[in-house]
Amino acid sequence: MIVPYSHVLLLSALLFVVGMLCAVGRRNLIMILLGLEVMLNAGAIAFVGAALRWQQIEGQTVVIFVLAIAAAEVSIGLALIVWAYRRTESLDPERLQDLDTAEPL
């Protein structure tokens, strides 16, 4: 492995923290979804680094499943965001608390 394993884990941890800050600190549903995607990719990088470190293919196999789950999460998440935007005409998560009293379309 050309890159030391500690550097791979450091990169993964930094990406996870950036994704967490994006998901927690933003007031926009799309940015929250983007933060979750960055956190999933950080976990995938850690799995690939571990697979290369210990010469096991299972880590890379898990990454393929993580990417498939991330793609499904994005498609469902964006569909829910579009639905919520049509109901509230806003991407603010605070407005979503009022969806149970909103009028049906």
38-65: pLDDT as tens digits: 999 999 999 999 999 999 999 999 999 9
pTM score, two decimals? 0.85
Q: How many Å apart are CA 79 and CA 52, to the nearest integer?
A: 36
Delineate the domains of the chain, giving CATH numbers in brackets: 5-97 (1.10.287.3510)
Which pLDDT tens digit goes with each residue over 19-28? 999 999 988 9
Q: How many Å apart are CA 94 and CA 26, to the nearest integer?
A: 11
